[in-house]
Chains A and B, each alone.
Chain A
Amino acid sequence: MYRRTILQKAANGFGAMAMAALLNQSSRGRELADGKTRNLLHPQQAKSVIFLFMEGAVSQVDSFDYKPMLAKHHGENPRQTIGKIEKTQFENIGTVLKSPWAFRQRGQSGLWVSDLFPQIATQADDLCVINSMTSSFPEHTSANYLLHSGVGLQGRPSMGAWVSYGLGSSNDNLPAFVVLNGGQIPSGGLDCFGNGFLPAVHQGSLLNAIGTPLANITSSEKSPERQQLKKQLVERLNRLSLSDSGGNDALEGAIANAELAARMQVAVPELLDISNETQPTQSLYGLDAEYPHTRVYGRQCLSARRMVERGVRFIELTIPMVDGYQRWDAHGGLVKNHGDNAKAVDQPIAGLLQDLKQRGLLESTLVIWAGEFGRTPFAQGGDGRDHNEFGFSVWMAGGGVRPGIAYGATDEWGYRAVEKPLEIHDLHATVLHQLGIDHTKLTYRSGGRDYRLTDVRGRVIRDILT
């Protein structure tokens, strides 16, 4: 009766759904199912993650990695100045390019942040900047898959899906992994948020920041009463067939599932309804900004905070579709591309950090800001930068990471990570660690192999933890 006991023990809701989903499928899942806390092999620092994905790759040397040498050698042949240049995506290598944005030391910590992000810069004392991240792929899609799923290929579970699988949701009416879409679905498509071989319940639920929030969430009847009429009949029919089956737990699970769906029809619109947020809060997120994309991203960031409050485990934000740009992918026109993209996200992110902090949520919320790779310190053509996977910057805040520090370093050009170089797997290991999960032990068997988010790699970056 083991299996049935578990099902009965599990509450109706997303946490339970994850398990019920597994019951049908995997004997390993059954062993996972008897309590979420079992997974936490050490204390949990963060309860939620907000992943601010900067698709297209922000230039590290124009944002968080200050390299005065670039100004000194501006315009020179990088092969002579920097030395050996690796193959790039476009192979259109120009001269050494200094940053158009001034760098300054910020706050108490004295972290270097450029004027590209004047608002985020005000929160520098909460940031833990990693300047020595590396990727394995110089093109977007594979790098996106790597950053999201630990493998540069399509079809593996996304980081959020692993977290959902590992922890379940702590809100019965909302999924554990939500993607708040600002408009820019990354290269590689929705598979960046896929469940891969994990059960579908772990799939990132794509919520639109604007328009209908979730597929089929809007009740198709004009009034709840009308839906209710049908549901009464359906519930009775379901009970009859359940009893006719002798109490089959798949049918029982499906009944619970229908009830959950009904509750979601209320919970999701409520979640995204920000009308009762105060005017100062809305301003903090840039919702009154002139630039429309700032307002979109502000809405996303504010919704992210509301999800944290409601116990959503993993929230990923895609960036808004800033007119005329392929995301942060500044192969040309660096100043306008990065300038516009920064204008869209700078205030909302700074607002999010402040808001989380003042509500006491930052400690238990790990905010991650990262692109899939960085950009070259030398120009592509005249005024762009090509892809650079050899060294770039990401930052984290809250969730038990040390605030106001910079970790690792690239060479004097900002080209290659030379000091404490990290892999994406290390980032994954650290994120899971902060959520109380040992990345080496969160496994799922598929097609005869046990898989992990970190594959065979990954080390927790202990130096950046409080």
Chain B
Amino acid sequence: MNVAFSLYLIGCLCLANTTAPDEEFFESRIRPILHDRCIGCHGADEQHGALRLDSREAILHGGESGPAAIPGKPSESLLINAIRHDNAELRMPPNDAGGKLPDDAIDDFTAWVQSGLAWPKESLPKGTNEREVFDIQARKDRLPWIWAPPKQQLVPENTDPLVVGDIDRFIADKLRQNGLAFAPPADELTWLRRSYFAITGLPPTQEQIDSFLNDASVDRKQHAVDELLASSHFGERWARHWMDLMRYAESRGHESDFSIANAWQYRDYLIRAFNADLPYDRFVMEHIAGDLVDARQNAETGANESVIATGWAFLGEEVHSPVDIRQDECERVDNKIDVLSKSFLGLTIACARCHDHKFDAISQRDYYALSGFMLGSAFRQSRFATMVEHRQATVDLARLRENTQSILKKVLADSLQSGTSNIAGRLMASCRVLSGENSRTVAQGTGIEPTELDAWIEQLEKSKTDPTNPLRIFHDLAMRLSKSDGSTVRAAISTWETPSTTQPLGPFVVADFTQPTASEWWNSDGPGFGGRPMLEGEAVFGSPEKPITRIMQYSAAVRDPFWKPLALTASTETDSGRFGAVNRAGKTLLTPKWTLRSGNVHILVRGKLQSCAVVDSHIMNEGPLHGSLIAHLDSGEQLRWLTHNLTPYTGHRVHLELSPLGDSDLEILTLVDSPTTPNWLPQRSWIPDTAPDSIAELCNLFQADSERILQAWKSDTRNIEPRLLAIANWMVQNPNLLKIDPGTIVQTTSDYFRELDVISKSLRWDSPTAVSLADISGVDENVLIRGKPTRLGVIVNRGLPEAFGTPRVTTRQSSGRLELARQLVDPTNPLVARVMVNRVWHHLFGRGIVPTVDNFGALGDRPSHPELLDHLAWEFMHQENWSLKSLIRKIVLSKTFAQSSRINPDADNVDPFNALLHRMPIRRLEGEAIRDSLLVLSGRLDPKPYGSPIPVYLTEFIIGRGRPDVSGPLDGSGRRSIYIATRRNFLPTMMLAFDFPTPFSSIGRRNVTNVPAQSLTMLNDPFVREQANVLAGRLAKEQPNTDPQTRIELLFKAAYCRNPTSEEVDLSLQTIDLLRTEYEGEPDQIVWTEFCHAIFLANEFIYVK
């Protein structure tokens, strides 16, 4: 019986086979509707009106209004009443949940109730209001093998002296149990061609064949395999396998197929990683948390390799202007979970988005536990080439500044000693002049030089427009000097105490860089903001001529001018859409994630910035909607509150990414989500700590405070009282007034500037960027009831599915991906190693030990050789240091892999699908390998590795919106197929014909089909024809005088890796003759072009025996 058609399937929900006709009616007509339209509110998760509709018992028991149905009496049944929408008070499903059912559904329900509510026997949810318990252990017990870590295995005995390897013993054992034996070994050239395609995806060249044949040692197969594994083409072959899992593409598909800028850096990362035999556990770590682990640096360039691995997360489809942005996020997260769970765990967890998995030990909570890791992370273009050295430089710079600062402050304190000793007198004198006394008289009376006095008076005048100037109070009081008794002074001071200095920021502070805690959650992409907030009291360095520009009066995130020259390497692509309009890489500050409350985000800022609001992690911002997510704000020279209006997104999750615009300075202090703009400003003028009785006393207090600052600087106390910061800043701003010796300062800082120059010159300032994950903050997702973002269930902590038994992640500071990565590669994880070993086996034999390579769960196939898989996985982890090359070497050098592929009818009867590997399978090459083979044969192959993709050659069949402007060359510049552009909506026709997988989710096992488009491609595609011509030209050039037979032999060797039989030579010679007759009068090369084409057309060219 036809299994596919006898199973009644609703998505993941498989219902039992039913026999009774009434039950069949229920299963086909009633249950789907109950499931789709009713259970959401009347099921295990929710019981509106205390009613459940997920069992017959529950329906008969009913809810708050009584029994929902009475068997045989539809007209008296509330359920029928409700679905008819007859009664205005009771209309189900309600209009906001899809509205009335179709008429025929209502008729079905009526008939069903009439006939007695048939419902098949099944285990029922217990009790009307009890939640069904998802029994994790019971689920695990269904497939205990996949949930237990691989164990070391006993290798089966074998007395055959030729069966010595572990793999062969396991295989031989199963064959023997089934009355089978190994097929005879394939001849060595067949093995060679097989191994070449398996390991590098390329055929052996003439020279490589000869070198193999000339190797007289018994180990020549090992030599060949070692050479292949060491070839840089190995990485190209195996990276492509992995790219199928990561649904790799360089564009976002959907309507206009916008680019994923620099996606190809990820492809190059993979090639390097496979070539370097990066241990697979590390490879997984880098994919999940490459931005959080200690960077693995490229030995040649020093680039951060690890971070590039995280780019996989963003290689999926993206919608440019989704109306429902949150729903769209759910789809994107779903895709990431699907890729992650299939690729690394061989499980389909995305299935549990709407309900517990129907078969596997995966609950709906597990799905949302994984969602959190994605929701706490964001997209960025990371400056991977420079990030390690720039991070180090930031540390060096901070240390340098700290050292210089403490020396400088001491020098400054000494230098200010005399200037501050008589500040009080000068202030008092200036006040007197301002109050009307004659300046000359005052100068004479106090003994102050008239020019100096004038300078002080000028200072006071200036202060009246500057609220932060500590002298402002004196100017104010000087005007009322005649009445300056104690109460007047105190009254004046009280007006200076602006209420805003103590005013809280309002209902919700998103980020506050003025607080000492800011460095704990500080999150920046790159060095642009110097690696930490600038703290109040810190000196800000300027140029060698003006070494100190100011003393920070508040803490803030400040753009570090040192890093202004950060640039992008010329070929770097920019993100499409509005997010790509400003180069933000390396100079972006990220806030934690929060849920938008008022929707108005007020940013206290000085300078010009771009604020990118990443709402629901939406980044593909192009099209009519969502333009307001990006705001360009400019405060001018002043510190100001500016507002990013996000009110349409109230209630959505968001984080902000803030970057400077252009070359301007930028400081960011505080971000507040509030309906009104705060009036708080951190700038303070000076206020005495005790109430003075007169101006004279106030002047003395000022002088005392000035001296206090010098004391602090001398004793290397950075934290002078906040109250004094205005004076400190005023002092460094007015060196002349306070008689600071400029020479001393310049001299003291000269080392600093020299050192700065050395660092600057040592750095690489330009970097390409790669798509990467950024870590934002810990987000725990709600279970979304039936997968709907509008229906929130319980919150679940982040973690692997419960069945793994790993601890939950609760950190708030980070997405928690680092913890996730560690849990994945822990040797006790039952699936990660097994799944990968099985993938390698699949690629080498065309069939995995578990044939469903992406699904080890209940809907997948069972392993043919579970002990062998465990054995290999155990050795992979515990003995081979997760080395893929070791694993591949072991398999390719096995007797199993060396078998002939010739069909043995008897064995075929016992093992028709060759699951036991009684022979090698014959396999068709992938599209890439076919195209690459053509290039190898014709000699056109350009072995150059890496780099930006070669544009697709556009035919009239590669069409649609967003079609690339430029067509690539017909032969892709001779580059291997992995380097041809992978644009989602414009995949090369040849690849599509040969089962190139649609990049939408993980495809670990490609389809292998046999369709006419493939034959037509080989027959008529201009590229194939061109390569035949190039090959014929090569023959003419390299073998100008050889006889046809030699040429035929050469071609057979190049194309099929063997010598032709005499029959084949005869056939070929006949064909050459016929072609010569047909093409009489035309150049001989045409004959050979045609013959070469025929060589391509024969099946042996695209099949591997």
Contact = CB atoms under 8 A, between A and B. Distances in A.
A-B complex is real: yes
Interface of A: 1-4, 14, 17, 20-21, 24-25, 27-28, 31-32, 38-39, 41, 87-91, 137-142, 152-156, 175, 181, 185-191, 194-201, 203, 205-206, 208, 211-212, 214-220, 225-227, 229-234, 236-238, 240-242, 244-248, 250-251, 253-255, 257-258, 260-262, 264-265, 418, 420-422, 426, 440-441, 443-445, 447-450, 452, 455-457, 459, 461-463
A257 B1011 contact: yes
19 contacts: A3-B912, A21-B1007, A32-B4, A89-B625, A91-B625, A141-B319, A189-B962, A197-B1007, A203-B992, A225-B1078, A227-B1019, A234-B1097, A247-B903, A257-B1011, A258-B1097, A420-B102, A443-B5, A443-B9, A450-B9
B1009 A449 contact: no
A203 B417 CA distance: 86
Contacts of A219: 1019-1020
Contacts of B690: none
B2 A38 contact: yes
B1001 interface: yes
B783 to A, nearest CB: 19
B104 A463 contact: yes
A111 B360 CA distance: 52
A261 to B, nearest CB: 3
A237 B255 contact: no
A151 B809 CA distance: 33
Residue among A41, A152, A195, A450 having the largest count of chain B Cβ atoms under 10 Å: A450
Contacts of B1103: 241, 250-251, 254
Contact of A217 (B4, B254, B901, B1020): B1020
B859 A215 contact: no
A260 B1067 CA distance: 24
A265 B961 CA distance: 29
Residue among B338, B347, B908 having the largest count of chain A Cβ atoms under 10 Å: B908
Nearest to B1019: A261
B922 A245 contact: yes
B276 interface: no
Given A141-B319, A237-B1064, A245-B902, A220 B1019 contact: yes
B854 A448 contact: yes
Contacts of B922: 245, 248, 250-251
Contacts of A2: 912
A248 B901 contact: yes
B674 interface: no
Interface string B1063-1105: 1100110010011001000000000001101100111101101
B10 interface: yes
A316 B957 CA distance: 16
A236 B1012 contact: no
Contacts of B257: 189
A456 B32 contact: yes
A230 B1078 contact: no
A265 B1020 CA distance: 10
B348 interface: yes
Contacts of A4: 908, 912
Contacts of B1105: 245
Contacts, number: 327
Contact of A215 (B323, B902, B955): B955
A34 to B, nearest CB: 9
Given A153-B317, A188-B254, A200-B1011, A450 B1099 contact: no
A270 to B, nearest CB: 16
Given A448-B859, A456-B35, A459-B104, 8 more contacts: A17-B1010, A32-B2, A41-B5, A139-B319, A237-B1100, A260-B1015, A265-B1016, A420-B103
Closest 4 CB pairs of A and B: A155-B1000, A448-B855, A246-B903, A261-B1015
Residue among A191, A232, A238, A462 having the largest count of chain B Cβ atoms under 10 Å: A191
A203 B14 CA distance: 28
B1094 A448 contact: no
Given A245-B901, A459-B102, A459-B105, A450 B859 contact: yes
Contacts of B854: 447-448
A237 B1009 contact: no
Contacts of A155: 317, 998-1001
B989 interface: yes
A152 B902 CA distance: 46
Contact of B961 (A39, A185, A240, A258): A185
A3 B913 contact: yes
A187 B1012 contact: no
Interface string B374-398: 0000000000000000000000000
Interface size of B as a range:
35 or more
Contacts of B904: 246
A153 B998 CA distance: 12
B993 interface: yes
Contacts of A229: 1071, 1074-1075, 1078, 1090
Given A139-B322, A190-B985, A445-B859, A31 B912 contact: no
Interface string B1-22: 0111101111111100000000
A155 B1064 CA distance: 44
A377 B1001 CA distance: 38
Contacts of A244: 902
Contact of A448 (B322, B860, B1019): B860
A395 B619 CA distance: 38
B810 interface: no
Nearest to B905: A246
B253 interface: yes
B104 A21 contact: no
B5 A441 contact: yes
A2 B255 CA distance: 45
Residue among B322, B913, B1098 having the largest count of chain A Cβ atoms under 10 Å: B1098
B908 A1 contact: yes
A398 to B, nearest CB: 22
Interface in B891-911: 901-905, 908-909
B1021 A212 contact: no
B583 interface: no
B608 interface: no
B1007 A31 contact: no
Contact of B998 (A152, A194, A225, A450): A194
B1011 A264 contact: no
A220 B1020 contact: yes
A3 B913 CA distance: 9
Contacts of A195: 998
B960 interface: yes
B102 A233 contact: no
B1025 interface: yes
B852 interface: yes
B24 to A, nearest CB: 12
Interface in B915-936: 922-924
A436 B1020 CA distance: 37
Contacts of B1075: 229
Nearest to A326: B961
A194 to B, nearest CB: 6
B1019 A138 contact: no
Nearest to B959: A185
Given A200-B995, A260-B1015, A447 B624 contact: no
Given A229-B1074, A445-B859, A257 B1090 contact: no
Contact of A1 (B909, B1071, B1093): B909
B1078 A226 contact: yes
Contacts of A142: 254, 319, 322
B973 to A, nearest CB: 21
Contacts of A441: 4-5, 8
B1070 to A, nearest CB: 8
Contacts of B3: 28, 31
A246 B961 contact: no
B807 interface: no
Given A38-B2, A215-B1013, A264-B1012, A189 B7 contact: no
Contacts of B950: none
